[in-house]
Amino acid sequence: MRVEVDGRGVEVEPGATILDAATAAGSYVPTLCFDERMAPFGACRVCMVGMEGADAPVAACTTLCREDMRVTTDEATARRIAAATVELVLSELPEPPAPHTELARVADFLEIGEPRWQGERRRPSHDRRHPYLALQHELCISCGRCVRACDEIQGAFALTATGRGFGSGITAGLDSGFTNSTCVSCGACADTCPTDAITEGSLLELASAYTEEPGGGV
C-alpha cells in the first residue's frame, strides 16, 4: 500500500508500521524502546508522530499503516511529547548519558540540554560479579529492551522488570546476579541496552581510562 511520510510517498507491505514507513521514506524517528530484532513494545512514547485525521499524536512503532495515510514525523505536539518524555528520563539519571549511547543520540536529536527538573536522582548501584556483563542499575530507564531481548532473541528468561516508579529497574534471576540466574551470557541484553545500564565491563574500564572518574562507583 502507499503512504506519505513528511510529504514523500512510499510503498509498504500490509502489516508495516508507521516506523517502517518512515524508515523507508528516509525520515528519522527517535526511539528508545524499539529494537528491530523484537516485537514492537510501545512503551517509551518517544516515537510519537502526527497522523492526518487523528486527534493526538500516535506511536510510530505500534501503529499500522493504512492506505493513503499521511504522517508528519516532526509534528509540533508529537515532538513536544517526545522531548518532555526524554527530559523526564534524563532528570532521573545521576549524570548525562555517555555519548555513544542511543539515549544520548536521541537527546541530542531532540535538542534536550540540562533537564529543567532538578529533583531526586538515582544513586549508583553496580553489579560486576559476571566476568563480562556489568549492571549499572542507576542508568536503567525501564525500556524493557533487555528483558525482551533475553526472552525473544535468546530465550533464557533470565531478566525481570522489578520495582515501581522511581525504584523501577531490572534484575537478573532472583536478584542473584547473572551468574546465578538462567543467563547464558549471550550478551543480547548489553547489545540492546540504550543507556549502558547493562554493558560490557571491559568497555567501562576502557572509557574510564580516557575520561575523569565518573561519579559513583561500586
Partner 1 sequence: MSERFEATTTTTCGYCGVGCRLEAHRADGRIVSISPAMDGPANKGHTCVKGRFAHQFARSRDRLTAPLVRESGGFRIASWEEAIARVTEAFTRIKAEHGPDAIAGLASSRATNEDCYVMQRLMRAAIGTHNIDNCSRVCHSPTSFALRKAFGLSGATGSFDDIEAADAALLIGVNPTQGHPVVGARIKQAAIRGLKLVTADPRRIELADYGQLHLGIRPGTNAALLNGLAHVVIRDGLVDRDFVEKRTEGYDAVAELVAAYTPENVEEITGAPAAGIERAAHLYAEAERACILWGLGVTEHLYGSECVQLICNLALLTGNVGRPGAALLPLRGQNNVQGSSDHGALPDTFTDYRPVTDDAVTSAFEERWGVTMKRERGMKIPEMFDAAVDGSLKAMYIFGEDVAQTDPDTTHVIQALESLDFLVCQDIFETETTKYADVILPASAFLEKTGTFTNAERRLQLVSASAEPPGAARTDFEILTTVSRALGHDMGYETPSDVMDEIAEMTPRYAGISHERIGRAGLQWPVAPDGTDTPILYTDRFELPGGRAHFAPLPYKPPGDQADAEFPLILVTGRRLEHYNAGTMTRRTGNLELMSSDWLEVHPADAAALGVADGQEVAVRSRRGMIRLPARVTERIEEGHVFTAFHFPEVRTNLLIGPSADVNTSCPEYKVVAVSVQPIGAERSAPAPARAEPMVPAD
In this complex, which beta carbon is closest to partner 1, that of residue 132 or of residue 166? Answer: 132
* Number of neighbouring beta carbons within 10 Å of residue 53: 7
Residues 6+ apart with CB under 8 A from 88: 115, 117
The owner of cell 510501545 is: 42
In this complex, which beta carbon is closest to partner 1, that of residue 157 or of residue 166? Answer: 157
The binding track of 20-49 with respect to partner 1, each residue x by CB under 8 A or -, is ----------------xx------------
Residue ranges of alpha helices (H) inside 73-196 are: 76-92, 102-109, 145-148, 188-192
Q: Shortest gap between Cβ of 66 and partner 1 (angstroms)?
A: 26
Query: Edge-to-edge, what's the strand order for the sheet holding 126-127?
Result: 126-127, 133-136, 198-200
Bridge partners, 199 (sequence order): 134
Q: Shortest gap between Cβ of 85 and partner 1 (angstroms)?
A: 23
Residues 91-110 that bind partner 1 (CB under 8 A): 99-100
Beta-carbon-side half-sphere exposure of residue 45 (alpha carbons within 13 Å): 15
Q: Is 67 in the site for partner 1 (CB under 8 A)?
A: no
Q: Shortest gap between Cβ of 208 and partner 1 (angstroms)?
A: 12
Residues 187-216 that bind partner 1 (CB under 8 A): 187-188, 191, 200, 202-203, 206-207
Nearest residue to 22 via CA among 58, 54, 76: 58
Cα separation, 93 vs 156, in Å, equals: 29
In this complex, which beta carbon is closest to partner 1, that of residue 20 or of residue 92? Answer: 20
Q: Shortest gap between Cβ of 119 and partner 1 (angstroms)?
A: 30
Cα separation, 51 vs 64, in Å, equals: 11
Please select the residue that binds partner 1; options are 4, 6, 95, 152, rule is CB under 8 A: 152
Q: Is 87 in the site for partner 1 (CB under 8 A)?
A: no
Residue ranges binding partner 1 (CB under 8 A): 36-37, 99-100, 131-132, 152-155, 179, 184-188, 191, 200, 202-203, 206-207
